[in-house]
Amino acid sequence: MTNLFTLPVLSSILSLLIAITDTAPALEDDFSPGLLIGVLLFGAVILVLIGAGAVIAGCMIVFTMISLAFGILSASVLAGYLNRSITTGLKTLVMLLSGLLGIPMGIVMVFVLQWIKAGKYPDFLFTTILPGSLAGLLGGVIIGLIFLKAISYLREIVVAKYRVG
């Protein structure tokens, strides 16, 4: 840390000596191994900090995903328990998953379709993310409605066959 404070002082003394003697030092003797080692150590510290930040960010993303999954499952179980109906719990689970997974799946599908069509990577904002979000939202709603119809159909079959409900 003291090298940072002594550097301006040494620089001014060197410029004063150059001005007094009126001769510049030879450039061949300008090699400084201490400076090289200092820069390499500083670079290593920066790379270690970047790596630690990436690991912490990855752990936070995994923790968020796990928390989200437990939240969706617990909301579905709670909805089914409060209504005393397994189909309500399944409907809640399907609706939450359709809304959550529809948008990323739509973005990926639009990206892949544009990549196949154009043969190059598309611009992300206007050609992938916005249409993909709209397609994913629409796809999530459609898949959710299909699953809801399938669950009601299966419920009717179970009630008719086993006289449950």
Choice between 144 and 53, residue whose per-residue pLDDT is larger: 53
In 83-129, where does DSSP find H-type helix?
Answer: 86-118, 124
pLDDT of 26 reads 58
Q: Is the pLDDT of residue 39 over 80?
A: yes
pLDDT of 55 reads 96
Mean pLDDT, range 121-135, rounded to an integer: 68
Q: Is the pLDDT of residue 71 over 60?
A: yes
Q: How many CA within 13 A on the CB side of residue 95? A: 13
CA distance 94 to 7: 65
The rounded mean pLDDT for the chain is 78
Is the pTM of the predicted complex or chain greater than 0.75? no
pLDDT of 44 reads 95
Q: Is the pLDDT of residue 24 over 60?
A: no
Mean pLDDT, range 98-116, rounded to an integer: 75
Of the candidate ranges 54-58, 69-73, 121-125, the one whose mean pLDDT is the lowest: 121-125
pLDDT of 149 reads 84
Within 8 A by CB and 6+ apart from 134, the residues are 106
pLDDT of 141 reads 77
pLDDT of 62 reads 93
DSSP string, 57-84: HHHHHHHHHHHHHHHHHHHHHHHHHHTT
pLDDT tens digit string along 80-105?
Answer: 888 888 888 888 888 788 777 777 77
